[in-house]
Chain A
Amino acid sequence: MTAALMVRDVSLSFLGVRALTSLSFSVAQGEICALIGPNGAGKSSLLNVINGVYRADSGDILIDDQLFSHPTPARAAKIGIGRTFQNNALFRRMSVIDNVLTGLTRQGKAGFLELAFRLGRYSTEQRIERAQAEDILAFLDISAHRDAIVGQLPYGLQKRVELARALVALPKLLLLDEPMAGMNKNEKAELSQFISDVNRQLGTTIVLIEHDIGVVMGLSHHVVVLDYGRKVGDGTPEEVRRNPDVIAAYLGTRH
Chain B
Amino acid sequence: MLFLVNIIVAGLLAGLMYALVAIGFVLIYKASGVFNFAQGAMVLLSALTFVTLNEHGLPFWLCFIITVGVLIVASVLIEFLVLRPLVNRSPDTLFMATLGLSFVIEGLAQLVLGTDVHQLDLGIPDVPLKLYGLQVSDFDLFTAAVSILLVAVLALLFGKTRVGISLRAVADNTLAAQSIGIRLPHIWRIVWSVAGVVALIAGLLWGNRQGVQFSLSLVVLKAMPVLIIGGFSSIPGAIVGGLIVGATENLADIYIGPLVHGAVSDWFAYILATAFLLIRPNGLFGEKPIQRV
A contact residues vs B (CB 8 Å cutoff): 51, 53, 73-78, 83, 85, 89-94, 98-99, 101-106, 108, 110, 112, 115-118, 122, 125-126, 129, 149, 165-166
Contacts and interface: CB of A to CB of B under 8 A. Distances in A.
Contacts of B181: 73-78, 105-106
A78 B204 CA distance: 42
Nearest to A74: B181
Contacts of A92: 172-173
B162 A129 contact: yes
Nearest to A149: B289
A90 B163 CA distance: 17
B87 interface: no
Interface in B59-113: none
B157 A116 contact: yes
Nearest to A107: B162
Nearest to A51: B179
Given A53-B179, A75-B181, A83-B180, 14 more contacts: A73-B181, A78-B181, A89-B179, A91-B172, A92-B172, A99-B169, A101-B165, A102-B182, A105-B166, A105-B169, A116-B157, A116-B161, A122-B161, A129-B162
Contacts of B222: none
A116 B162 contact: no
Interface of B: 156-157, 161-163, 165-166, 168-169, 172-173, 175-183, 190, 289-290
A110 B163 CA distance: 11
B165 A73 contact: no
A117 B166 CA distance: 17
A93 B177 CA distance: 13
Contact of B182 (A53, A74, A116): A74
B182 A105 contact: yes
A164 B248 CA distance: 49
What 4 A-B pairs come out closest when comparing CB atoms? A77-B181, A89-B176, A91-B172, A93-B289
A104 B156 CA distance: 20
A45 B176 CA distance: 16
Contact of A102 (B161, B165, B175): B165
Contact of B180 (A89, A98, A108, A118): A89
A125 B173 CA distance: 25
A94 B183 CA distance: 19
B163 to A, nearest CB: 6
Contacts of B180: 73, 77, 83, 89, 102-103, 165-166
A118 B156 contact: yes
A102 B166 contact: yes
Contacts of A94: 165, 168-169, 172, 290
B162 A73 contact: no
Nearest to A129: B162
In this complex, which of B166, B173, B176 has the most chain A Cβ atoms within 10 angstroms of its Cβ? B176
